[in-house]
């Protein structure tokens, strides 16, 4: 294979790689070939304990440092990530199967952006002075303490950084548990942070599945939980965190609408729909998988879409000209194939794709269904694969109501040349992360997150600081205390 994907050990705790071979074996499978590329062990109770105690110990000292000192370390880590972008991209491709044409530009890059952005903010996390007549008050922005990050498998480097960077900037420690499907990349993030000067114990990575996550969330020494995952997991984690009144950020699933009006630039709208359905082989939470296209341009839209999908280059994700890779796992591929079968059975019109691609890897064709109706399963449930559902509409008010008729509220997009309509429609769509004449951009400067069942809290931007810190308020009396007796 040529690349050494086996890490030195399964976990990175208290500044070093550690192993406990009594933990259950986890095999890491390369999605493009089905080959086992690394063997790790799930965290045992002893590893979990070490991660918690070292995190708590290190956090007290870290919180006492100057913000600019914390920020300098994060910004140094960002520089190292950028310098190692190629190797990190190769690893991300092995972990997830996403093509190098994506990972070279998105994953470590986005992780470095978060480290740089929150590193820059770290020195400015102040409270305020509040005049109260002759008295006064002030607020102090304090860290929460020990935070737990739980990752999904689609963006392992990015998720590790989007959670770690604001947590550390605010003076917290973090224990990050990657998805059991993609355990490799977060270890590199930990390595780089420590190489940049992060004191031992502040960013611990431990491996395992739901049981390890459950143990972390349920531990009373943990102050905050940030999960990126599915809605059912989110409900369980939120409920468990509530037992200890812990802070939470929930970045969950979606079934987002993308509305294409009759006056849209057709090629841009088709491009947006492609980005919102087939990038990362459709394994993106914010995808616009319900594409509502105005009836008058539907056939033109579908024709152009099919033409452009015909030029997708599907194959070896390490070949930098390939732009469509395999699904992350055979089980995720089977889930998606099951949805495709349901779409066919429900009578949706298969415009293109619809089949598995024979071979060792977990490949599926990019798939488009047209004439999809709101009640079909493929229009209601998150598929998390390369399956686009195209629905017709004729009336603006009607399409807004239909777009909002879902329990999810992660993202929404609109394509139109009419600027008034663009803002009017976006203003009424129930979603946290929206796009006008674009889809799926996620710069660190803008808040990211969902409404309704898609989540609570926001990642990125200055807003994330609110979710990794708390305010202490102090009343200062300047005169005598007047007590009633």
Ligand X SMILES: NC(=O)c1ccc[n+]([C@@H]2O[C@H](COP(=O)([O-])OP(=O)(O)OC[C@H]3O[C@@H](n4cnc5c(N)ncnc54)[C@H](O)[C@@H]3O)[C@@H](O)[C@H]2O)c1
CB nearer to ligand X: give 141 or 177: 177
The pair of structure tokens assigned to 199 is 């004191």
Backbone angles phi, psi at 156, to 5 degrees: -60, -40
For position 406 contacting ligand X by CB under 6 A, the verdict is: no
Please, what sign has the CA dihedral across residues 460, 202, 174, 187?
A: positive
Q: For residues 317 and 409, which CB has a smaller minimum distance to ligand X in the complex?
A: 409
Q: Does residue 209 bind ligand X (CB under 6 A)? A: yes
State in angstroms the smallest separation of the CB of 185 from ligand X.
13
Q: Given the complex with ligand X, which of 264 and 340 has the nearer CB atom?
A: 340
Contacts of 400 (CB under 8 A, 6+ apart): 425, 428, 429
Considering the complex, what minimum distance in angstroms separates the CB of residue 182 from ligand X? 8
Tell which one of 97, 229, 315, 353 touches ligand X (CB under 6 A): 229
Active-site residue (options: 251, 262, 396, 482): 251
Q: What is the DSSP letter of 288?
A: -
**Measured from the CB atom, is 115 or 241 closer to ligand X?**
241
Least Cβ distance, residue 162 to ligand X (angstroms) = 8
Residues 45, 51, 56, 57, Cα dihedral to 10°: 110
Question: Which range touches ligand X (CB under 6 A), out of 18-26, 115-123, 149-157, 318-326?
Answer: 149-157
- Name the minimum Å distance from CB 429 to ligand X: 17
For residues 212 and 189, give the distance between their C-alpha atoms in angstroms, rounded to a whole number: 20
Residues touching ligand X, count (CB under 6 A): 30
| Cα-to-chain-centroid distance, residue 324 | 20
Q: Which residue is nearest to ligand X (CB)?
A: 213
Q: Which long-range contacts (CB under 8 A, 24 or more apart) does 194-198 make?
A: 194/12, 194/15, 195/77, 195/80, 196/73, 196/74, 196/76, 196/77, 196/79, 196/80, 197/72, 197/73, 197/76, 198/73, 198/77, 198/168
DSSP H or E stretch at residue 249 = strand 247-251
The yes-or-no answer on residue 251 being catalytic is yes
Report the residue from 102, 180, 191, 223 that binds ligand X according to the rule CB under 6 A. 180
Residue with tokens 């064709």: 365
DSSP string, 197-241: TPPTTSEEE---SHHHHHHHHH-TT--EEEEES-HHHHHHHHHHH
Left, alpha or beta for 278 (phi > 0: left; psi -120 to 50: alpha)? alpha
* Near ligand X by CB under 6 A: residue from 236, 344, 424, 462: 236
By CB under 6 A, residue 285 contacts ligand X: yes
Check residue 107 for interaction with ligand X (CB under 6 A): no
Contacts of ligand X in 361-390 (CB under 6 A): 382, 384
Among the residue ranges 252-260, 264-272, 274-282, 308-316, the one whose residues contact ligand X (CB under 6 A): 252-260
Residue 251 touches ligand X, criterion: CB under 6 A: yes
Binding ligand X (rule: CB under 6 A), the pick from 108, 186, 217, 348 is 217
Q: Interface with ligand X by CB under 6 A: which residues?
A: 150-154, 177, 179-180, 209-210, 213-214, 217, 227-230, 233, 236-237, 251-254, 285, 382, 384, 410, 450, 455
Residues identified as active-site: 251
């Amino acid at each position: 294979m040529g690349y050494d994907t086996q890490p030195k050990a399964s976990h990175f705790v208290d500044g070093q790689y550690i192993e406990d071979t009594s933990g259950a074996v986890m095999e890491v499978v390369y999605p493009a070939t089905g080959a086992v590329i690394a063997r790790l062990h799930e965290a045992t109770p002893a590893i979990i304990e070490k991660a918690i105690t070292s995190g708590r110990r290190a956090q007290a000292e870290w919180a006492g440092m100057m913000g600019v000192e914390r920020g300098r370390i994060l910004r140094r880590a960002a520089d190292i990530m950028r310098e190692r972008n190629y190797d990190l991209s190769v690893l991300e491709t092995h972990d997830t199967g996403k093509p190098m044409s994506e990972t070279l530009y998105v994953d470590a890059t986005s992780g470095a952006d978060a480290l740089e952005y929150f590193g820059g903010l770290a020195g400015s996390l102040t409270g305020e002075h509040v005049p109260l007549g002759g008295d006064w008050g002030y607020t102090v922005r304090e860290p929460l303490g020990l935070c737990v990050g739980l990752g999904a498998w689609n963006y392992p480097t990015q998720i590790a950084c989007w959670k770690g960077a604001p947590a550390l900037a605010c003076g917290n420690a973090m224990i990050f548990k990657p998805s059991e499907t993609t355990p490799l990349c977060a270890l590199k993030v930990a390595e780089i942070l420590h190489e940049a000067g992060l004191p031992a114990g502040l960013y611990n990575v431990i491996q395992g599945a739901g049981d390890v996550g459950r143990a972390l969330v349920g531990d009373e020494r943990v102050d905050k939980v940030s999960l990126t995952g599915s809605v059912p997991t989110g409900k369980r984690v939120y409920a468990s965190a509530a037992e200890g009144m812990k802070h939470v950020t929930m970045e969950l699933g979606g079934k987002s609408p993308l509305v294409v009006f009759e006056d849209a630039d057709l090629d841009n709208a088709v491009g947006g729909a492609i980005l919102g359905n087939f990038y990362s082989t459709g394994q993106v939470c914010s995808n616009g998988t319900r594409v509502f296209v105005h009836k008058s341009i539907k056939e033109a839209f579908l024709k152009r879409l099919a033409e452009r999908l015909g030029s997708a280059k599907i194959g070896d994700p390490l070949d930098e000209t390939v732009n469509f890779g395999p699904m992350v796992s055979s089980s995720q591929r089977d889930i998606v194939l099951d949805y495709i079968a349901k779409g066919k059975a429900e009578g949706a019109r298969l415009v293109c794709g619809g089949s598995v691609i024979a071979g060792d890897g977990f490949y599926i064709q990019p798939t488009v269904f047209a004439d999809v109706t709101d009640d079909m399963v493929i229009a209601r449930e998150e598929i998390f694969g390369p399956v686009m559902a195209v629905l017709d509409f004729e009336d603006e008010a009607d399409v807004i109501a239909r777009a909002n008729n879902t329990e999810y509220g992660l993202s929404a997009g609109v394509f139109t040349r009419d600027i008034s309509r663009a803002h009017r429609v976006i203003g009424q769509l129930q979603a946290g992360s929206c796009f006008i004449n674009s889809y799926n951009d996620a710069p660190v400067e803008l808040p990211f997150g969902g409404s309704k069942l898609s989540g609570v809290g926001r990642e990125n931007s200055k807003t994330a600081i609110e979710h990794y810190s708390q305010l202490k308020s102090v009343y200062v009396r300047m005169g005598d205390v007047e007590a009633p007796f």
